[in-house]
Structure formats: C-alpha cells, structure tokens
Amino acid sequence: MFSNSAALKLLIAEKADVDASDCMGRVPLLSAGSGGNPEGIKILIASGSNPYHKVFLGCAPMVHACLHGCHESVAAFLEAGVPVSGDHGVPLPHMSMLQGGDPILVQRLLEARADIDEPFEVRSLIFSIAFSTASFKYWLGSRDKFCTIGYNGINSTPLIMSVATGSFAVARCLVDAGARLDCRNSRGKTAWDLAKELAAPSSLIEAVVAVEP
C-alpha cells in the first residue's frame, strides 16, 4: 500500500473497502500518506476514501503525512481538494514540527491557508494522557523534548510550538510570515519566554523581543 499503486487499483476494481482499517484503526489512506505515495492518495480519495478518518490518536491521514515530513503526500492531499482547515483532529502545522520541523513544509501549509496562530488543543483521551504524563515529568525535572512539548504544548500557537520543539528555523519562518508574538500557551508563556528559557539562538530571541514585558 505504501507504493504499489497498481495493486491498489486492482483491489479497488474488485470492490475492496477503501476505508477498511486494521486492528490499530489505520486505513489505506493513512498508509499511503505516511508512506509517501502521492499517487495512491489521489486514487483513494477519487475512489471515495474519507480523508478525515481518525485513528485511535484522533488524527486524520494528512496529520501523519505532516508528522513524517512527507512533502509529496501533503501536496497530493491538497491537490485532491483536502483543505488544511478541515477536521484533521489536530492542527497540521503543529504536527509537522514534532519530528524536527521543516520550514518548507510549514510554508506549504501556510500557503494553503493554515491558520498561522491556531492554538493547539488536545481532543483525544490518549493525547491527553500522553501530555499529562509528559507535563508531570517536566514538573519533576525532566527536560527532554517530549516532556517540554507536553508541558508547554497546550494552547500553543505554531510559533510557540516551534520553539518548544527546538524547531528554530521554523520559528523564524513563522515570525517572517507574520505570526503573532503576544499569544500565550496554557502556562502563560509567549514564544519569547520559551526562547529565553530554552536557550534559542540570539537572533530568534531578538526577533520576538517585541513581546518582552
């Protein structure tokens, strides 16, 4: 399913269920998206596959394409008419940063009219448990990436999330694109607060210094 579009067409011709899921709730469109198969994405959507089907984490297939940094997959979803503002379960720009952050991918999402200041909200039970656990570990003193995201991620804008994940090139991209500098996450922190706390490059700290009290 990751790349065999010929087999996919054959299965669809034989009336295979394009939204059939495995024991983890994964559907073919998710596999095509995270596996970097743009042709498969277009075939599945044209055949009626639901681009908003949620897996157990509450995330739609396009989220996983962003998470894995699959540029071609994201482009295929957009070309197939799937808007970035749709009900994907979580904001797409935020998810694109969890594996390191790619300014080009984030720029593509912004050009497709992703909300540059959309706050991150936890909508699934598993996400809630994961963030709560990470936040508690952060409170106990752990400062790894996962715990930092868990503690600072709730209600964070893409700019705040980019700083929390250490995606400083993405942060600079968002600042240049006009992201608001005065937004605060659930901890009351701005991007400037986090940039100082996490020892971001001085050039980035200077770029968001306008929000200094």
CATH code, 201? 1.25.40
- Domain membership of residue 19 (yes or no) is yes
- Domain membership of residue 69 (yes or no) is yes
25 & 67 share domain: yes
108 & 13 share domain: no
Which CATH number belongs to the domain containing residue 70 in this structure?
1.25.40.20
Residue 34 domain boundaries: 1-89
pLDDT, position 157: 95
117 & 193 share domain: yes
113 & 201 share domain: yes
Place of tokens 């669809």: 12
- Domain membership of residue 182 (yes or no) is yes
- Domain membership of residue 38 (yes or no) is yes
pLDDT, position 212: 47
Structure token digits, residue 188:
């009351």
pLDDT, position 192: 94
Outline where 100-201 has alpha helix (H).
103-111, 125-140, 145-152, 158-164, 168-176, 191-197
105 & 58 share domain: no
Among residues 60, 89, 118, the one where a domain terminates is 89
Structure token digits, residue 150:
């868990």
Convert the pLDDT of each residue in 90-141 to its tens digit.
888 888 887 778 899 999 999 999 999 999 987 778 778 888 999 999 999 9
Instruction: Evaluate if pTM is beyond 0.85.
Output: yes
Give exposure, 42-65, as e/b (b: 16+ Cβ within 10 Å): bbbbebebebebbbebbbbbbbbb
Residues of the chain with pLDDT under 50: 211-213
- Domain membership of residue 95 (yes or no) is no
- Domain membership of residue 96 (yes or no) is no
Measuring CA to CA, how many Å separate 152 from each of 58, 92, 134, 213? 20, 17, 10, 20
68 & 173 share domain: no
With beta carbons less than 8 A apart as the criterion, state whether 5 and 44 touch: no
Could you give the CA distance from residue 90 to residue 124 in angstroms, rounded to a whole number? 9
130 & 152 share domain: yes
